[in-house]
Each structure stands twice: as structure tokens, then as C-alpha cells.
Amino acid sequence: MPATHLTCRRCGADQPLEGIGTCPRCFGPLDPVYDADELRRTATRDRIEAGPPSLWRYAPLLPVAPPDEPRLAPGLTPLVAAPRLAAELGVAELFLKLDTANPTHSFKDRVVAVACAKARELGYETIACSSTGNLANAVAARAAVEGLEAAVFCPFDLEREKLVATAAHGATIYAVRGSYDDCSRLTVELSFELPWGFVNVGLRSYYAEGSKTVAYEIAEQLGWELPDVVVSPVASGSLLSKVGRGFRDVRELGLASGEPPRVIGAQAVGCSPVATAFADAAPVKPVRPSTIVHSLAIGSPADGDAAVATARDSGGAIYAVPEEQVGQEMATLASTAGVFGETAAGVTLGGLREAIRRGVVRPDDRVVLLVTGDGLKTPGPVSDRFEPVAIAPDADAVLEQLGVAV
């Protein structure tokens, strides 16, 4: 395994590859460090392409040893062309990365698979998380298939559609009377008291690295060429920053040709601390979420500043999308590309539309838009479009309704 240790993003202090959530010196975030020579030796195109049809084909680029018998392995999700939507937007090529094809229909299956591999190594019998819904599903399903216990802490007003699936997998659900940030604070406190593997606390350094596999797959699926633009939703900021890191990895290792893509991020106006920080060229400041996009409703994003830096360094941007636009964009994605994404996908498409309007995305660009979750979990914003035509069970009645002469 090429990962050698953890290092603090803020003060540079090194830590062992253990379940350490933050730097004990300055409380900064910890990232895995890899042996570059070992990566060049093991992470080759031939080895990757001969690997399993899941994210574990990129095991040499991850900070955990792959399971001996991968179960319900996520990743290698479809990358599909969306020519009708591309034409409407006015871009040369548009691809959709469908992480809705993962086991619990979101990209969170990736990060949980990596975190759980570390949890098993460290001997945890329970995995846990704070969640806005998708992570709860992923933790519950992973625990079920691995024979572990699962505990998830969610805001009490979260969409029922997400939590029913979590309950079906057998997890214990704690409905916290507060926001996601209250859930997050609670799990940080509990991580010091309980012998549980909190995937987005003590295991966060490993968990976050799973997001890099989105970039690895896109590069491989495009024939080891890099797109011009990648568009991502922003919640904690980890997905956007790690996807950006993933594209730099494949470029630096000589796996892919071309320059790393411009990275565009998007948030809903009702919870947009990262977009605000980007616009103001200032550090991220916490906000109180008030948005219909619950999956992105993190008012104090742990990796917000990293997301801002990633977007800026790549020549991209991060935008805030009006709340009333979210449902419209969900419907546009479904009606032009046949893909029903959750509210986060509506935000992501809105961010792409704004980037095109401002000239950050150009007409000749090859664009990849990340669809990170399934619309069946958050149908509310498009429910007003359900207007069936009531008819009698009679062919003449149908023809009359269609204006066809009988």
C-alpha cells in the first residue's frame, strides 16, 4: 500500500495511519501521504484496467488495503453522453457521471467503502456517521453486508424517502432535533466516548479519499483523456476538492493526457457559505442553512476552504443557485437526458448554466456533470409536474382527447 502516513493540511505535522480525525497539535484536517515512487510502479494503466469492475481497481491510489472479498463494491458507474442537454446549454460535449448507479444510489457508497475497510482493519464492530441522508443509506447498507452494527445521526426533518431505506438496512437512526451541523457536533463529541468507527469523524482522512475515484473513473472512461470542465455539488467541500486532487493525480502519474479540468462547484442560495467565500475571496464563514436542498445543507463545511482553493487554482468557480431554480433544473435534466437526479443535481446543473453565462465554460468545452444522488429520494421540488390526464377506459375518449377525428 503506497500510503505511508497522515499529514496535517494546516501545520504539516505527521501522524500514523490510524483512526485520527484531526491533527492533535492544531486540530487541522489530515490527509494521507503516498510514496510517489511506489505509486508510479503500481498505479499503471495496465494494472488498473485489469482490476475489478469497482473502485477497488484503483486500490494502489487509496490509503487502505482492499478487502480480500469485496462485497457490494461501488464505483465504475456509467459516464453517459447527454447530447440534447448539451445542445440546450450550448456546449460541445456534455457527459453525466451517474453515481446513482452505486448500491444505495449516491456517491457516498464510495467514501463509506474506503472508510469501512479502515474500520475493519482497526477492529470496529459499529460504524456510524452524521448525515443529510445519502451517507446514512451508505453506512447502513455497508454495515449490513459486512455484518457490522450501524448508527446514524440525522436532522429530524430529513426527507422520509431517504431514512426508510436506512431503516430497512437495519441501522439505528437517531433523529436529532437540530440541523446537520448539530448532528456533526454531536458525533464529534461521541467519537471520544464510544468505540465506534465514525466514518466522517475519526475515519474522515480515509473516507474523503474515496471521492478521488470519481476523477479516476472519468479519466479512464474518456480513454485516459481529461475533460475541460467538471461540475460538482458542494456540501462539506470534500467531494469537489478530492475530485480535483484525483485529476491532478492521474496527470502527475502520467496516466492521462491533457491539463486538469476547470472545476465548477454549486450550492443552493439558502446554504451557500462556500460560494460566498469564493465570490468574496475570503475564508468560509458558517451560516444557518435554510434550503430545500437538504443533502447540501452544511452550514459549517469542514473542507469549504479547500473547495474554494481547488476551484480557483483550476480556473473554475463556485456559484450559488436560487432555490426556485432547483426543481426547474431537476426537471430539465430528466426531460432532456432521461436522468432523474436529486436536488443536488438540480443545483449542479444550475451551477453549470451560470458558468456558461459568465464565460467560465466555453462553447467548445467537453464537460462532465456529476449526478451524485437519485431523484427518487427527493421528489418534492418536481411533484407539481405530476398532472395526469384523466380519461375513461375507451379508445374513442383517448382519440377525442388527442383531437383525432373518429
Helices (H) and strands (E) in the chain, counts: 15, 13
In the predicted model, is pLDDT for residue 331 greater than 90?
yes
Domains annotated on the chain, with CATH = 3-67+108-207 (3.40.50.1100), 79-103+211-377 (3.40.50.1100)
| Burial of 42 from C-beta contacts in 10 A (0-12 / 13-18 / 19+) | middle
What is the distance between the alpha carbons of residues 160 and 150, in angstroms, rounded to a whole number? 18
Q: Where are the beta strands (DSSP E) in 306-397?
A: 317-321, 366-371
Give Cβ neighbours of residue 265 (< 8 Å, ≥ 6 apart): 231, 232, 233, 234, 240, 274, 275, 278, 307, 311, 316, 317, 318, 319, 351
Quick one: which of 219, 179, 32 has its CA closest to 115?
32
Return the residue matching grid coordinates 430545500.
292
What is the distance between the alpha carbons of residues 96 and 368, in angstroms, rounded to a whole number? 6
Over residues 154-180, the mean pLDDT reads 92
What is the percentage of the chain residues whose pLDDT exceeds 70? 100
Q: What is the pLDDT of residues 122-136, one digit of tens each?
A: 999 999 999 999 999
Q: What is the pLDDT of residues 14-28, one digit of tens each?
A: 999 999 989 999 999
Return the residue matching grid coordinates 460541445.
92
CB environment 267-288: b (16+ within 10 A), e (fewer): bbbbbbbbbbbbeeeeebeebe
Tell me how far CA of residue 22 lies from CA of 95, 101, 202, in angstroms: 36, 32, 8
What is the distance between the alpha carbons of residues 213 and 199, in angstroms, rounded to a whole number? 17
Return the residue matching grid coordinates 377525442.
400
What is the distance between the alpha carbons of residues 307 and 286, in angstroms, rounded to a whole number? 15
Q: What is the pLDDT of residues 234-269, one digit of tens each?
A: 999 999 999 999 999 999 999 998 899 999 999 999
Return contacts of 162-170, CB within 8 angstroms, 24+ apart: 162/133, 162/134, 162/136, 162/137, 162/377, 162/378, 163/133, 163/136, 165/104, 165/137, 165/140, 166/133, 166/136, 166/137, 166/140, 167/140, 169/137, 169/140, 169/141, 169/143, 169/144, 170/140, 170/143, 170/144
Query: Which one-letter amino acid corresponds to residue 228?
Result: D
The count of other CB atoms within 10 Å of the CB of residue 65 is 13
Tell me how far CA of residue 80 lies from CA of 53, 165, 266, 370, in angstroms: 17, 27, 21, 11
Q: What is the pLDDT of residues 272-330, one digit of tens each?
A: 999 999 999 999 999 999 999 999 999 999 999 999 999 999 999 999 999 999 999 99
How wide is the angle at C-alpha 196 spanned by C-alphas 148 and 12, nearest 5°? 125
Return the residue matching grid coordinates 456510524.
128
How do 126-130 and 149-155 pair as beta strands?
Answer: parallel
Specify the length of the chain in residues.
406
Q: Whole-model pTM?
A: 0.95
Q: Which three cell numbers stand for residue 52?
A: 475489478
pLDDT for the residue numbered 406: 66
Are residues 28 and 10 in contact, defined by beta-carbon separation less than 8 angstroms? yes
Give Cβ neighbours of residue 85 (< 8 Å, ≥ 6 apart): 94, 332, 333, 336, 337
In the predicted model, is pLDDT for residue 1 greater than 80?
no
Helix (H, G, I), strand (E, B) or coil at 21: coil
Q: What is the pLDDT of residues 367-379, one digit of tens each?
A: 999 999 999 999 9
Is the CA virtual torsion 357, 363, 368, 374 positive or negative?
positive
